[in-house]
């Protein structure tokens, strides 16, 4: 059975601004479709996207960007990355870092995160004073998750402003239709990030601390065959990038969704016990990661089409999370939605290792915004980032008052 080729232009500003109508139209044609321009299959439904993420014949198979001399450091941090590995290397590396993100350890961080969230919200309220626009992204959404993951890894406070620009430049390489300037910026950021983490690892080797970098250095030195120096550096970069990028974007996308649905904002303000379910709904409603690729290591049948060995297939997470076969009234925001099997954190062996930490950060930041304000309103139209794969805002001006 041949699926139709999907006429979906991921660089179209209208699709970037709101991809969900295009997803719905494509989903009605077929659950899995070939995209000629991208040279891969796209899964539009929840069932098929879930299958793409879980089928072990569909793996994360990294191929270096070419020419190699142009993308040396970008390739290095992905070639050795947990996200780009399959078992047994993936199993080995994930086991080494999983303890830092275990639910119990993350819950112990909650009071510290709550203090930071209150401090950031109070700063926004003071600057806004009920009339002046302030940007929630730069004033809170970007600061809190960067601070948390940097604290976990042991990055000195003075160096933390370096992290977000490096990360932002690197993740632009995941987009389609990149310019040469974007690629060059990503390689420069990767090189600077690698050099910084090598230096930090050397410092922790000389003077260990109570942080994840020190723990990984100890594993590297005690059991060198279990963790290479490149894997150590790459793991830290991955955790710093993935550990805040999605959380920043859920914060922005989620707050925008609440501002555009004032009945749900009022409902959540009136009943803070809804925060856990509200966070899951915000993750579902406007996914921070829209597309996740896999490569077939054998022929795989999906919804009646065959993904041939060597071909790529992508789960469209945002489309899956709006599938009416799974979610009642999927286009509606419902902060009390109890039946919510979204796949914004992925599924299978690559399920997001930082999901417990992200949930704590999101529940805490939204909780602080609601608990410490009586007024929270848009001050100007938001400015969206021009990328499709990593979906987020560049600016979200609001007015706040206590």
User: pLDDT tens per residue, the chain (402 residues)?
Assistant: 455 566 788 888 999 999 999 999 999 999 999 998 899 999 999 999 999 999 999 999 989 999 999 999 999 999 988 889 999 999 988 988 887 777 677 888 889 999 999 999 999 999 998 899 999 999 999 999 999 989 888 999 999 999 989 999 999 998 888 899 999 999 999 999 999 999 999 999 999 988 888 888 888 877 666 788 899 899 889 888 887 888 999 999 999 999 999 999 999 999 999 999 999 999 999 999 999 999 999 999 999 999 999 999 999 999 999 999 999 999 999 999 999 999 999 999 999 998 999 999 999 999 999 999 999 999 999 999 999 999 999 999 999 998
Which residues does residue 306 pair with via DSSP β-bridges, in sequence order? 301
Q: What whole-number distance in Å separates Cα of residue 118 and Cα of residue 42?
A: 41
**Model pTM?**
0.91
Protein fold of 65-284+338-401:
Cytochrome p450 (1.10.630)
Q: What whole-number distance in Å separates Cα of residue 170 and Cα of residue 175?
A: 10
* Predicted local distance difference test score (pLDDT) of residue 222: 76
Q: What whole-number distance in Å separates Cα of residue 13 and Cα of residue 18?
A: 9
Angle at 177 between CA 175 and CA 182, to 5 degrees: 70
Going from N- to C-terminal start, the domains of the chain cover 65-284+338-401
């Amino acid at each position: 059975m041949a699926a139709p080729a999907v006429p979906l232009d991921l660089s179209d500003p209208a699709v970037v601004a709101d991809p969900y109508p295009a997803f719905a139209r494509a989903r009605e044609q077929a659950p899995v479709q070939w995209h000629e321009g991208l040279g891969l299959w796209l899964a539009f439904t929840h069932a098929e996207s879930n299958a793409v993420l879980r089928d072990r014949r569909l793996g994360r198979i990294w191929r270096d960007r070419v020419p190699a001399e142009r993308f040396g450091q970008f390739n290095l941090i992905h070639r050795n990355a947990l996200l780009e590995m399959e078992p047994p290397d993936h199993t080995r590396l994930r086991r080494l870092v999983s303890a830092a993100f275990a639910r119990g350890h993350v819950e112990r961080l909650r009071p510290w995160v709550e203090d930071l969230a209150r401090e950031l919200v109070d700063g926004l309220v003071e600057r806004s004073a009920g009339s002046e626009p302030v940007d929630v992204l730069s004033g809170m959404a970007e600061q809190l998750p960067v601070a948390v993951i940097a604290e976990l890894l042991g990055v000195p406070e003075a160096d933390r402003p370096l992290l977000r620009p490096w990360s932002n430049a690197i993740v632009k390489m995941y987009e389609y239709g990149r310019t040469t300037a974007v690629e060059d910026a990503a390689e420069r950021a990767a090189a600077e990030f690698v050099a910084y983490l090598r230096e930090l690892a050397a410092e922790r080797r000389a003077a260990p601390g109570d942080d994840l970098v020190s723990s990984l250095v100890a594993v590297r030195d005690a059991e060198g065959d279990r963790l290479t120096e490149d894997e150590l550096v790459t793991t830290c970069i991955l955790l710093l990038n993935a550990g805040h990028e999605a959380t920043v974007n859920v914060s922005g996308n989620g707050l925008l969704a609440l501002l555009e649905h004032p009945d749900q904002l009022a409902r959540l303000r009136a009943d803070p016990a809804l925060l856990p379910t509200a966070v899951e709904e915000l993750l579902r409603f406007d996914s921070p990661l829209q597309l996740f690729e896999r490569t077939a290591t054998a022929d795989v049948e999906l919804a009646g089409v065959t993904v041939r060995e060597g071909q790529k297939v992508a789960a469209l997470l945002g489309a899956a999370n709006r599938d009416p076969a799974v979610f009642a009234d999927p286009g509606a925001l419902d902060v009390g939605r109890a039946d919510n099997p979204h796949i914004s954190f992925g599924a299978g062996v690559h399920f997001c290792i930082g999901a417990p930490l992200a949930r704590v950060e999101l529940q805490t930041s939204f909780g602080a915004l609601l608990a410490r304000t009586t007024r929270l309103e848009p001050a100007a139209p938001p400015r969206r980032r021009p990328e499709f794969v990593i979906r987020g805002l560049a600016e979200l001006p609001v007015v706040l008052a206590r």
